[in-house]
Structure 1
Amino acid sequence: MSAIFGVVGAATAAELDEMGSRLVHRGPFVHWRHVARGVYLGAAGKREPEPLRHESLTAVVSASATLRGDDAESIVAGRFAREGLAAFESGNQTFAIAAWDERTQSLLLARDFIGLKPLYYCVLPGGGIAFASEYKALLALAEVPAEPDLDALQYLQCHKRVPGNRTLLRNVLSVPPGAMLRFARNGTREDAQHMRPLALAVAPTSEDAACERIGTLLLEATRNLVGGCDRVGIALSGGIDSIGVAYACRRSAPEAELVAFTAGDDHDDPEIRTAAMVMEHLGGAHHPVIVTPRHLADVLPEVVWHLENPVGRSETAQFIELGRAAQARGFDWLMTGMSADALFAGMPRHKLLWLASRLPPLRRDLVEFYARTQSGRPPRRPLARIIDRLYFRGALPPVPGIEGARYTPGLPDLPPPGPEFLNRFLVTSAQEGAGLARIERTLQASGVDFATPFADRALMDYAFTLPDALKIRRGKEKYILRRALRALVPDELRNLPKFPMRMRYDEQFASTIDALFDEFLAPDRVRRRGFFRYDELLALRRARRRGRYDAEAAMRIWTAVATEIWAEQFLDRRGEPLKRRDVALGGAPLRAVG
């Protein structure tokens, strides 16, 4: 099963059919059953789904496509019935489960440790509860209110993500990663259980020993995913994480056909050129997927409909097309290098925190600048303001406000200064999986799943036995991971600079952003919606300098445009999608090349 949905309470057959139809992109076969008095469980999958019965439980399971075999979901449900969440505290199982317990007359909702598989729920105003893999399915129920969460909308403008386990709808929540929630028939939450959390347990080790252990765990995790496969699909960027995974796939499945997909805006994109070089070394096939800024106006409504919470940047449009290209070539899941950054400190923000920990006199100023980059909060300390002006060149207007919202960003909730400061930050954020949601949703637009060996629990646990001095060394992110990959990846590929898979913020991108602004954020439209003040949006529009936008200014406009598209689809149309549009921006049809 690729998606699940259901209701405990009142629902018509037409409503349940419509819930399922909104998930059909995840699997073409949709079915629901009346399993107990007032209890309806349904699923969408690649084959005819049926609820699974184990002891007193009747369950529907959304499991990763990496779990091969016709009885994979039944095995997951059986382990859940016998052991609960404890059954999944090792390995790399990704799942969402909804189970009706006839003995206790309660509904259980649970997700995998990093929350790769989505699961939302809404307590029904008339009593009862509804759940679904995507909340657009919940809006098929007339009883579910489509009311915006204004504070969550403001949080989105600031952080480019939603807070905690909330959504942009006030009454719809997400089951937390690694958690199981129990609800009574009337929708009252009775209990919550959580998997064993990641723990920081730094132990003395040598670099050589750490490299050997990382290499062993990476290969074991990869072998568990691709061992025995005849064909392995890879979402391959030019970064060391996915390059390392590609080489681990070849080592783990030496006879398999390797096929990689890389998104870029032309054939000279550094991501595409690097990925082609990798696949030539590995004797595999490489398919560039060309997605240019000119295509954004056409694809953005679809991206927002699939994301639901419109997080992420321009890479979300690229992954929509990458998933199509993979599905067209017969792949229902792809390997990736996702989550390595969260374990081994691979992001620019991690380097900024590392600097703050090593320069105590500048710590408060660097933390204020960190807050500026993560939430848009204007710095107040003099040195932080100078850093801000030098970095953004004075070209970054304030984050637009949401009318009626009370949320305002403060300083980030960081660990106190002291030993292993960076590690203490990483261990609290590694389970969030915020970056994974945008990849899962956009690939699943074509029914394509993904997996990463860096979500293997043994590798995750081991990463937090290593001191943070091995994660960033002399300003180099992921130092120990790069060293560990010497045994797999040639030096000329291992030391390439990081090129994130996203569009270039050039003049063409700026012109596309302007066209989207003019259509979706026109003055009358903004006034009718009532979310934004037009003068604040116009300040963002005026941030274009020498024909281009700074990346952060561009993404603030992107997020505001996506917010209006979201409102049309999920407030005005209650989850019904806007259609892909033909907008005269001079672009050719989206295509996969090769």
Structure 2
Amino acid sequence: MCGIVGIFHYANAGSVDRDLLHRMNESLFHRGPDDGGLYVEPRVGLGHRRLSIIDLSGGHQPLFNEDGSVAVVFNGEIYNYQELAPELAARGHRFRTRTDTEVIVHGWEEWGEACVERFRGMFGFAVWDSNRRTLFLARDRIGIKPLYYAILPEGRLLFGSELKALLVHPDLPRTIIPEAVEEYFAYGYIPEPRTLYRHAFKLPPGHTLAIKADCPVGEPRRYWDLDFSERRSAGQSVADGELRERLREAVGSHLVSDVPVGAFLSGGVDSSAVVAMMAGESRRPIHTASISFGEAEFDESRYAAEVARRYGTDHRVRQVDPDDFSLVECLAGLYDEPFADSSAMPTYRVCQLARQGVKVVLSGDGGDETFAGYRRYLWYLREERVRGLLPLSLRRSLFGVLSRLYPKLDWAPRVLRAKATLQALAQDPVEGYFHSVSIVNAAQSYALFSHEFRRALGGYRAIEVLRRHARQAPAHPLSRVQYLDFKTYLPGDILTKVDRASMAHALEVRVPILDHEFVEWAAGLPPSLKLQNGEGKYLFKQALQPLLSNDILYRRKMGFAVPLAAWFRGPLRERAREALLGERLADTGWFNRRYLERIVAEHTAGRRDHSALMWTLLMLEQTYRNVEQPTNSAVDNARVAVGGDG
């Protein structure tokens, strides 16, 4: 795992500032403390920070082909490189190392832009081909590894593994765009391809971008999409056997390494399944790591211990203080733009613990998206059945009135919190799902944002992100919302969270459940094998019964809970008040001051739980504190953004 950066003068033959390139590269030192390298020629500069995993002595980057005309900088792993290297060698390519990186160089020479279709792995890489005068950027299919780029005035392009590398460049405009802020308050992150800044972008998962010298920068090209067409007609007993074998193969392919490989072990279904498969592939005890919480309601450590005993792992556990909020101020520095998933804090701690034993770990991320494990999928299917009984016009009037009359019961069990369900039933399917996943829905955003900010949005709403993807989504309602999560929540939240938290500790995290071949196979299963009789991950759990106990497979999902509501009434009370009602947010002109005062007062008094929105606002304010603004202050740039300046 590594960090990459680069500068390309695509519209002119300008020279690259080597010192600036070096500073961009060093901003990613945490991603690759083992080695670093730069390459500069008249139009192009490439930089790399290396975390040595494969071919420890021979993998220095940038790495070149035989005559030096093609160079690559690469972040990630190509798991099938040992199969591709002999094929490329048979076609006349000469290999000088044992790294997976060199397969990219020769794959580009042999297959051009189609090389990405041959790679099985997680990656963000850049190839510079001096003969073709082309810079080629690529990101893996699922979006496990990040890749950012920015287009600057005077025909220059920057790229990097993290936004902070681009922000080192003094000429990157810091104009914050209203649409990104609107999306952040809806989702808790800024979905691809946007970033917080108008001129910087995320390369979307499954996309490439080829930039030719002396040509305009075009749009990214999609080379992969997830197909949910049903392709499996065999019975359940055959399918669960095939699932075990395919998962075993995916996990085995992710164990290629010249350093020991460990695993996260939360005690949940997904991480336990990965550990069970690893145990069958490894001759040595596996290093596993988990964190525990002092409160039994959130503590899964006893289940992790059960799996560790069963499979004889070398298990490390660290208890996290439920009032461990010391990371609040550092999160913005990790994520570079506002990121409101509070489970980033325990994720950071488990990465810190795992790095004490190993450089590489496997995680169980992706199981819920792949096999329909989220509870919201079940609620969505139930809502869809009701929506199918009545036309939209009737539902809008009937359920719209009922939702306005029904009280908001934040404290009650889900079955009694009917207000949200009634609101969802009054909407079309995409609106209904947006309502279930959004932090701030349309009605709340009207109260939260100022009139000036809403005018700057020009009618734009964050739901357009889901609508854009829904146009390519499958027809079945379960497959539809799985597809939407693969395009938004999975890369924008889950994978971003894990990448930054792990790379802050120079730890590589691999996700075998998101191996694209395994994901493609699972997508072709009938929806009824994923969610059946109210049980999510139905086939996944059935297939794992020989390997894991029913206590592991069928208990209630816990996850990494953070007691935000209590923090904002206790130790973080004054910090939250300062952030939400202080000068930084006020000076943006984005927010309705009276509404902010109201949510602080209601939450502090215990009348309502506004902790999710308060955390989202706090992380935005913290971004202003942490991100450097070399040219103007954050406040000045906020004012420019509201004015819509591009």
Fold agreement, TM-score > 0.5: yes
For residues 310 and 186 of structure 1, what CA distance do their matches in structure 2 show?
A: 35
Matches within 5 A, 1:286-301: 286-296=315-325, 298-301=326-329
The structure-2 alpha-carbon separation of the partners of 1:17 and 1:184, relative to structure 1 and needing over 3 Å to count, comes to same
Whether 2:72 is the aligned partner of 1:59: answer yes
The structure-2 alpha-carbon separation of the partners of 1:260 and 1:453, relative to structure 1 and needing over 3 Å to count, comes to same
- Check the 8 A contact 1:415/1:425 in 2, yes or no: no
Larger radius of gyration: 2
Normalising by structure 2, what TM-score? 0.79
Whether 2:96 is the aligned partner of 1:50: answer no
Q: Which residue of 123, 148, 151 corresponds with 1:95?
A: 123
The structure-2 alpha-carbon separation of the partners of 1:336 and 1:168, relative to structure 1 and needing over 3 Å to count, comes to same
Q: CA deviation at 1:209?
A: 1.6
Q: Which residue of 597, 600, 611 corresponds with 1:554?
A: 611
The structure-2 alpha-carbon separation of the partners of 1:226 and 1:18, relative to structure 1 and needing over 3 Å to count, comes to same
Q: Secondary structure at the match of 1:288?
A: strand
- Check the 8 A contact 2:292/2:319 in 1, yes or no: yes
Matches within 5 A, 1:172-321: 172-185=200-213, 188-190=216-218, 192-203=220-231, 204-226=233-255, 231-253=260-282, 255-266=283-294, 268=296, 269-296=298-325, 298-321=326-349
Q: CA deviation at 1:206?
A: 1.3
Partner of 1:478: 537
Partner of 2:102: 74
The structure-2 alpha-carbon separation of the partners of 1:540 and 1:76, relative to structure 1 and needing over 3 Å to count, comes to farther
- Check the 8 A contact 1:313/1:502 in 2, yes or no: no
Q: Which residue of 16, 25, 28 corresponds with 1:23?
A: 28
Partner of 2:190: 162
Q: Secondary structure at the match of 1:381?
A: helix
Q: How many residues align?
A: 562
Matches within 5 A, 1:81-480: 81-84=109-112, 86-89=114-117, 92-185=120-213, 188-190=216-218, 192-203=220-231, 204-226=233-255, 231-253=260-282, 255-266=283-294, 268=296, 269-296=298-325, 298-329=326-357, 331-361=358-388, 381-385=400-404, 389-390=408-409, 398-399=444-445, 400-401=448-449, 403=453, 404-406=456-458, 407-410=460-463, 413=467, 420-432=476-488, 433-434=491-492, 435-480=494-539
Partner of 1:517: 576
* Cα deviation digits, residues 411-448 of structure 1 (max 9, x gap): 85357999622113323542552221111111111111
The structure-2 alpha-carbon separation of the partners of 1:13 and 1:197, relative to structure 1 and needing over 3 Å to count, comes to same
For residues 321 and 448 of structure 1, what CA distance do their matches in structure 2 show?
A: 12
Q: Which amino acid aligns with 2:242?
A: R
For residues 406 and 541 of structure 2, what CA distance do their matches in structure 1 show?
A: 30
Q: Secondary structure at the match of 2:143?
A: coil
Higher relative contact order (CA 8 A, sep 6+): 1
- Check the 8 A contact 2:170/2:631 in 1, yes or no: no
Partner of 2:89: none
Q: Which moved more, 1:226-235 or 1:236-245?
A: 226-235
Partner of 1:539: 598
Q: CA deviation at 1:545?
A: 7.2
Q: CA deviation at 1:169?
A: 1.1
For residues 169 and 152 of structure 1, what CA distance do their matches in structure 2 show?
A: 8
Q: CA deviation at 1:409?
A: 4.3
Q: Which moved more, 1:6-15 or 1:417-426?
A: 417-426
For residues 60 and 76 of structure 1, what CA distance do their matches in structure 2 show?
A: 9
Q: CA deviation at 1:256?
A: 2.3
Q: Secondary structure at the match of 1:64?
A: strand
Partner of 1:586: none
* Cα deviation digits, residues 74-124 of structure 1 (max 9, x gap): 223332432245444467411111111212222111111111111111111
Partner of 2:643: none
Q: CA deviation at 1:237?
A: 1.9
Question: Where do 5+ consecutive residues of structure 1 fail to align?
Answer: 370-378, 577-594
Q: Which amino acid aligns with 1:338?
A: D
For residues 387 and 495 of structure 1, what CA distance do their matches in structure 2 show?
A: 33
Q: Secondary structure at the match of 2:61?
A: coil
- Check the 8 A contact 1:85/1:195 in 2, yes or no: no
- Check the 8 A contact 2:473/2:480 in 1, yes or no: no
- Check the 8 A contact 1:517/1:557 in 2, yes or no: yes
Q: Which moved more, 1:82-91 or 1:140-149?
A: 82-91
For residues 104 and 518 of structure 1, what CA distance do their matches in structure 2 show?
A: 56
The structure-2 alpha-carbon separation of the partners of 1:207 and 1:542, relative to structure 1 and needing over 3 Å to count, comes to farther
Q: CA deviation at 1:211?
A: 0.8
Matches within 5 A, 1:563-582: 563-570=620-627, 572=629
* Cα deviation digits, residues 148-173 of structure 1 (max 9, x gap): 12210121012112133110111100
Q: CA deviation at 1:129?
A: 0.7
Q: Secondary structure at the match of 2:570?
A: helix
The structure-2 alpha-carbon separation of the partners of 1:416 and 1:96, relative to structure 1 and needing over 3 Å to count, comes to closer
Partner of 1:591: none
- Check the 8 A contact 1:33/1:40 in 2, yes or no: yes
Q: Which moved more, 1:237-246 or 1:187-196?
A: 187-196
Question: Where do 5+ consecutive residues of structure 2 fail to align?
Answer: 10-14, 53-58, 83-96, 412-416, 421-439, 634-646
- Check the 8 A contact 2:179/2:462 in 1, yes or no: no
Q: Secondary structure at the match of 1:389?
A: coil
For residues 563 and 176 of structure 1, what CA distance do their matches in structure 2 show?
A: 23
The structure-2 alpha-carbon separation of the partners of 1:422 and 1:314, relative to structure 1 and needing over 3 Å to count, comes to same
Q: Secondary structure at the match of 2:536?
A: coil
Same amino acid, percent of matched pairs: 23
Q: Secondary structure at the match of 1:558?
A: helix
